[in-house]
């Protein structure tokens, strides 16, 4: 952690993510009411009306309110996808690495089967079938993101399963599940956690892309939906797409900066 504090890019990215997290948590206080409700005249220019600092869209909805509630949607989807993908990947990778034999072969063939299909296409197909609910979007994105953690967890477990403490646990008669999830998994977890930032950033981009294509929940404000809403006014009101697009870029870049610094820190601390 001390290494992260010495990296200016990690500090900058972390500050942006912390601000976004606080905005997402305080969205009902910062922007009470329905962000999809008409709040003023349509197409008010940014910085011309104190009541609407970032202006309004073609229907008169406040752009700042949309950004605030869109941050909440993006952060929620990104974190939930990371939790689901990392949990599934750790379980599958740990079982595959420790069990070996046909169990490992079956599980790794399953991982390869999911890796064949691009994550966005898989999410696109599943959301099209299941509908644009929050749970459906999270599950669809997570199904394309769990394979990386699974492969990394398996490689770490393969390196740990011949360790002396594992042999001692077997001699003591511990159940294989207890050895896997209480002895080995905590040691295999730190390298897998380094993938969190990549998964969160990818999930935010995928959710935005789905919303841009009209596959997001129409009752929830999303940055992708705001970009799509403004694309028909690019010549006359380009800010409608540029502002949420910049918010999306800043969030993803900040996430990657923190993720890169975290990965480097874990790599430096890992014993050779």
Mean pLDDT, the chain, integer:
88
- Residue 39 within any structural domain of the chain: no
At 195-236, the pLDDT tens digits run 998 999 999 999 999 999 988 888 899 999 999 989 888 888
- Residue 1 within any structural domain of the chain: no
3-state SS assignment for residue 2: helix
pLDDT attached to residue 271: 46
3-state SS assignment for residue 173: coil
Q: Looking at the DSSP assignment, which residues form a beta bridge with residue 61?
A: 38
Compute φ and ψ for 220, nearest 5 degrees: -125, 135
Tokens of 131: 């509908």
Is the pLDDT at 5 greater than 70? The verdict is no
Compute φ and ψ for 38, nearest 5 degrees: -70, 125
**Mean pLDDT of the 85-99 span:** 92
Query: Distances from the Cα of 200 to the Cαs of 32, 84, 252, 258, in angstroms?
Result: 27, 11, 8, 11
When divided into structural domains, the chain yields a total of 1
pLDDT attached to residue 109: 93
At 148-205, the pLDDT tens digits run 999 999 998 888 887 888 888 888 878 778 888 888 888 888 889 889 989 999 999 9
- Residue 186 within any structural domain of the chain: yes
- Residue 224 within any structural domain of the chain: yes
Q: What is the CATH number of the domain that holds 241?
A: 1.10.3720.10
pTM of the model: 0.90
- Given pLDDT bands bounded at 50, 70 and 90, which one contains residue 140? very high
- Residue 72 within any structural domain of the chain: yes
- Residue 38 within any structural domain of the chain: no
CA dihedral 88, 92, 95, 98 (to 10 degrees): -120
Within 10 Å of residue 107's Cβ, how many Cβ atoms?
A: 19
Cα torsion 91, 93, 97, 100: sign? positive
- Given pLDDT bands bounded at 50, 70 and 90, which one contains residue 70? very high
- Residue 18 within any structural domain of the chain: no
Between CA 138 and CA 132 the distance in angstroms is 10
| Helix%, strand%, coil% for the chain, nearest 5 | 75, 0, 25
Q: Cβ contacts of residue 47 below 8 Å, gap of 6+?
A: 53, 54, 55
- Residue 174 within any structural domain of the chain: yes
Q: Cβ contacts of residue 264 below 8 Å, gap of 6+?
A: 3
Parent domain of 238: 64-265
Tokens of 16: 């942006």
pLDDT attached to residue 272: 41
């Amino acid at each position: 952690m001390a290494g992260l504090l010495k990296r200016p890019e990690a500090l900058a990215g972390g500050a942006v993510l912390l601000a976004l997290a606080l905005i997402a948590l305080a969205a009902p206080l910062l922007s009470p009411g329905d962000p999809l409700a008409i709040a003023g005249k349509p197409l008010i220019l940014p910085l011309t009306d104190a009541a609407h600092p970032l202006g309004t869209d073609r229907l008169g909805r406040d752009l700042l309110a949309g950004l605030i509630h869109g941050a909440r949607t993006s952060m929620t989807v990104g974190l939930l996808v990371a939790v689901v993908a990392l949990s599934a990947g750790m379980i599958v990778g740990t079982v595959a690495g420790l069990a070996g034999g046909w169990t490992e072969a079956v599980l790794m063939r399953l991982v390869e089967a999911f890796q064949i299909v691009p994550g966005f296409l898989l999410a696109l197909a599943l959301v099209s079938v299941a509908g644009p609910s929050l749970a459906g979007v999270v599950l669809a994105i997570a199904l394309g993101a769990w394979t990386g953690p699974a492969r990394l967890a398996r490689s770490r477990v393969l390196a740990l399963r011949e360790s002396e403490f594992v042999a001692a646990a077997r001699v003591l008669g511990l159940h294989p599940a207890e050895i896997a999830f209480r002895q080995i998994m905590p040691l295999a977890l730190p390298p897998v956690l380094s993938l969190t930032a990549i998964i969160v950033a990818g999930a935010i981009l995928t959710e935005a892309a789905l919303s841009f294509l009209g596959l997001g929940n129409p009752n929830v404000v999303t940055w992708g939906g705001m970009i799509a809403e403004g694309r028909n006014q690019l010549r006359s009101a380009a800010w409608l797409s540029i502002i949420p697009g910049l918010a999306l870029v800043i969030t993803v870049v900040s996430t990657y900066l923190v993720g890169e610094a975290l990965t480097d820190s874990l790599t430096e601390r890992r014993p050779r």
